[in-house]
């Protein structure tokens, strides 16, 4: 059983080249080629195993198409992006929308058939420069969420108070809850602000979340 492949590409030369690559590969069957978003939409519900698509189409962005394909329940065709657009925003948008692979047109597409086969078997062919964006993005998220429990840790009392503040308690209310003086609450709050390096309640909450002191 050969995999059904659809090519979405407005440049006839590129489309033809990719088409040859697909047909040269055993296991792949080129069932259609279209140059527009509209044409591709008409094919979504057909029995397609793999879309190889360009992002810059005359009637819109291929990213829309990715979203539409992924919105279909039940269908899980693979999507391999083949684009000249290598900027970080475009790449991330495509990947987050659900692309299974992202290849730049500047690579030697001699083995486009192999790349397509990789995609079909659960792999994610990425051009190295594309992969660099993705990895960078991954690591950035990691570092954003980490860097500050090492600053100055809050004392147990301060954490206790912080959780009350997160629930909207005023200093006075927190004082009643903890059965201490409102002045002392004020002191603890000052202390929290100093340790978190903020100067008001809102920012303190934000930092508390980002530090993992408060949970979602």
Partner DNA sequence: GCGACCACCCCGTAAACGGGGGATTGAAAT
Partner DNA sequence: ATTTCAATCCCCCGTTTACGGGGTGGTCGC
Strand partners, 80: 52, 101
Helix (H) or strand (E) holding 5: strand 3-8
How many chain residues are in contact with DNA, going by CB under 7 A? 25
φ and ψ of 20, to 5 deg? -65, -40
What is the per-residue DSSP string for 150-193? SS-PPPHHHHHHHHHHHTT--HHHHHHHHTS-HHHHHHHHHHHH
Binding mask 134-163 for a second copy (x = CB under 8 A): xx-xxx-xx-xx------------------
90: partner contacted, choices DNA, a second copy, none (Cβ within 5-8 A by kind): none
The distance of closest approach from Cβ of residue 141 to DNA in the complex, given in angstroms and rounded to an integer, is: 29
| Contacting a second copy within 167-196 (CB under 8 A) | 167-168, 170
Question: Least Å distance between CB 36 and a second copy?
Answer: 27
Nearer to a second copy, 90 or 127 (CB): 127
- The secondary structure of residue 74, as a DSSP letter, is S
Look at residue 63 and give its three-state secondary structure.
Answer: helix
CA distances from 63 to 40, 83, 94, 204 (A): 12, 11, 6, 38
* Binding characters for a second copy, 75-104, by CB under 8 A (x = yes): --------------------xx-xxxx---
Which residues in the 145-204 window bind DNA by CB under 7 A? 152-158, 170-172, 178, 180-181, 183-184, 186-191, 193, 199-201
């Amino acid at each position: 059983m050969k995999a059904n492949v659809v090519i979405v590409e407005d440049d006839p030369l590129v489309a033809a080249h990719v088409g040859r690559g697909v047909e040269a590969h055993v296991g792949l069957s080129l069932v259609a080629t279209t140059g527009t978003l509209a044409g591709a939409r008409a094919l979504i519900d057909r029995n397609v195993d793999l879309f190889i698509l360009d992002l810059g189409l005359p009637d819109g962005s291929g990213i829309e198409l990715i979203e539409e394909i992924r919105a279909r329940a039940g269908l899980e065709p693979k999507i391999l992006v083949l684009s000249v657009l290598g900027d970080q925003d475009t790449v991330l948008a495509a990947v987050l929308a659900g692309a299974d692979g992202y290849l730049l047109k500047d690579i030697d597409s001699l083995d486009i058939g192999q790349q397509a086969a990789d995609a079909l078997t659960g792999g994610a062919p990425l051009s190295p420069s594309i992969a660099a964006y993705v990895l960078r993005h991954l690591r950035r998220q990691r570092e954003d969420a980490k860097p500050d429990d090492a600053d100055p840790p809050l004392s147990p009392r301060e954490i206790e108070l912080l959780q009350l503040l997160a629930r909207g308690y005023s200093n006075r209310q927190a004082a009643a809850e903890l059965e201490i003086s409102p002045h002392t609450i004020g002191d603890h709050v000052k202390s929290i602000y100093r340790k978190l390096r903020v100067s008001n309640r809102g920012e303190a909450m934000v930092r508390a979340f980002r530090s993992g002191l408060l949970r979602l």
